[in-house]
Amino acid sequence: MTSLDDPSLFQLTLNIIMRQATANDLPKLEWYGQYRHYRKLFRRTYEEQLKGRRSMLLADLDGFPVGYIFIQWLANNKRIADGKTRAYLYSFRVMNILQGRGLGTHIMRHTESLLIHQGYSWAIIAVAKENHGALRLYQRLGYHIFADDPGQWSYEDHKGIRRNVNEPCWILEKNLKLGYDI
């Protein structure tokens, strides 16, 4: 008999598909308001994806992006992304409730194999100096700190208000040709 005092276990397997974002995904990237302030950034990144300058990669659970990472193929700073050998990964996140289960690691590994497939040999990523969890994840995956950055930038939120970000960060890189059988 089921009693209110006995917790019962039900295990669930989730099928996650990695794919590029479409226009329909843009509102869903806001995660029901949590990231609505990035609405214009998501739209601009999508426009850059259409031009082949950036890619928005989603971890899709039944049509909903429960995690994502963006790739910038070419940047003004060629140490970050040069359109040939070095690509910059950013806006990497997994929904809170799914964190710590290996999805972030899967997204990173999938992204790295995509970079290799595109002929790139270096992945670059920035992490806020106080984000020790993400730094640990990147270092476990083979990333090394090679620079730091004041992390000062700004964006216009969904209400048209300019928001300034000050987030000193480490810049890490990984040689994708090491350790991969290609």
Note the residues at the interface with ligand COA (CB under 6 A). Answer: 92-94, 99-105, 127, 131, 133-134, 136-137, 140
Q: Minimum Å distance from CB 93 to ligand COA?
A: 4
Q: Minimum Å distance from CB 91 to ligand COA?
A: 8
Nearer to ligand COA, 140 or 163 (CB): 140
Nearer to ligand COA, 140 or 144 (CB): 140
Q: Minimum Å distance from CB 1 to ligand COA?
A: 32
Nearer to ligand COA, 73 or 138 (CB): 138
In whole angstroms, give the CA distance from residue 57 to residue 33: 20
> Burial level of 21, CB count in 10 A (0-12/13-18/19+)?
buried
Nearer to ligand COA, 84 or 141 (CB): 141
Residue closest to ligand COA when measured from CB atoms: 104
Q: Put residue 97 in one of left, alpha, beta given phi > 0 → left and psi -120 to 50 → alpha.
A: alpha
Sign of CA dihedral 173, 134, 75, 21: positive
Q: Minimum Å distance from CB 20 to ligand COA?
A: 18
Placement of tokens 């497939």 in the chain: 117
Nearer to ligand COA, 18 or 103 (CB): 103
Q: Minimum Å distance from CB 9 to ligand COA?
A: 16
Retrieve residue 83's tokens.
């359109």
Nearest alpha carbon to residue 111 among 64, 70, 67, 155: 70
Greatest alpha-carbon span in the chain: 65
Nearer to ligand COA, 84 or 110 (CB): 110
Nearest alpha carbon to residue 108 among 163, 135, 136, 68: 68
Q: What are the phi and psi torsion angles at 111 (to 5°)?
A: -65, -40
Q: Minimum Å distance from CB 87 to ligand COA?
A: 15
